[in-house]
Amino acid sequence: MAESLHTGTVLDEIIEGVKEDLSLRIERLPLAELKELVLRQAPALDGYAALKQPGLSVIAEVKRRSPSKGELAQITDPAALASSYASGGAAVVSVLTEQRRFSGSLTDLDAVRAAVNIPVLRKDFTVDAYQIWEARAHGADLVLLIVAALSDAELADFLALTEQLGMNALVETHTEEELQRALSLGAKIIGVNVRNLKTLEVDREVFASLAGLLPAGSVLVAESGVRNAEDVAHYASHGATAVLVGEALVSDSTPAQRITEFRAAATHAN
């Protein structure tokens, strides 16, 4: 069984904090009570179908900061930002909820869920089934599962729970080995993150080298490294179904217009 990354990476450090914060939330709201909240939620929207629509889909991110770049944007009104994403044609809105490194919160997720009627991705570092129940309780339709952070058994269990709750999972990979693990466990929405977890450097060619390995019918999401329309066109030309964009949108004064431009650039690339 393949296990998680070697110790000492940025991912390991982030997950350490995630587990500490998670234990506090579990104390405040036990799993049994959390499951009761899930029952009150409307059914999850179909994230897979949203990303499979014709043309390149954009997953637009509500993201205040990152470990690689520090503070990106203040985002005083995440609901308004998410609404502008939707008006620009985003297929999915991604919301960072990790607090320590990304300044995110479940409050942001609640605000975005109330503001848009398209699928919402809870973007966090999932290490416990509690977080998947928690995502659904707050109205998320998709969760992020990072192959590098999970054993095969964990990944299989989390995929099964996600499906059980009517949700979809964006399964993030960085290498061919991680991609094969994801596919062998039945992942349908595969993300290729071109940011190296050890150095935080971006290499867009990683996407090109892995994209051809996916079977037909998969949703392939290019993650990281989208600065402009040219980068979007590059990913689209190598088979991306969708791009996940954070920094380039939150730092732009007209994010809706930028999303429209990104989708047009992908059309011209094909």
Catalytic residue list = 61, 63, 123, 172, 193, 223-224
First CA to last CA across the chain, in angstroms?
39
Q: What is the chain's length?
A: 270
Q: Torsions phi, psi of 219, nearest 5?
A: -100, 125
- Structure-token pair, residue 124: 């966090």
Dump the DSSP string for 28-69: HS-HHHHHHHHHTSPPPP-HHHHHTSSS-EEEEEE-SEETTT
User: What residues contact 206, with CB distance under 8 A and at least 6 apart?
Assistant: 174, 192, 194
Q: How many CB atoms lie within 10 A of CB 225?
A: 21
User: β-strand 70-71 against 65-66: which pairing, if any?
Assistant: antiparallel
Q: Torsions phi, psi of 32, nearest 5?
A: -60, -40
| Rounded CA separation 194/81 (Å) | 25
| Rounded CA separation 84/195 (Å) | 27
Please name the residue that has the structure tokens 């990476």: 9
Q: Is residue 243 within 8 Å of 235, Cβ to Cβ?
A: yes
